[in-house]
Amino acid sequence: MGASLTNLVVLDYSGTLSIDITMFGRTDILIKALKRSGLWNLGVENEGIFWGQIVNPTWTEGSLTQIGYKALIVA
């Protein structure tokens, strides 16, 4: 049986999963998180892409509807 790789990426928009959320917005910490999560390898190589193309465009609809962030981000 071959090896299977599974990746899980959690985007914690509201900070409810992390006690250190106030530090997450720091560039150095965010870049480390993007690399560690695998998003860096998918082209999210700076904080501008993360905030400007992933978080900000999905924030309102994701927080006010039941569509869910995953569906919005993947679309």
> 18-38: per-residue pLDDT in tens?
666 677 778 898 899 899 988
DSSP 55: I
**Residue 14 in this model has a pLDDT that exceeds 70:** no
The predicted model scores a pTM of: 0.64
CA distance 32 to 51: 15
Burial class from Cβ neighbours inside 10 Å (0-12, 13-18, 19+) for residue 58 reads buried
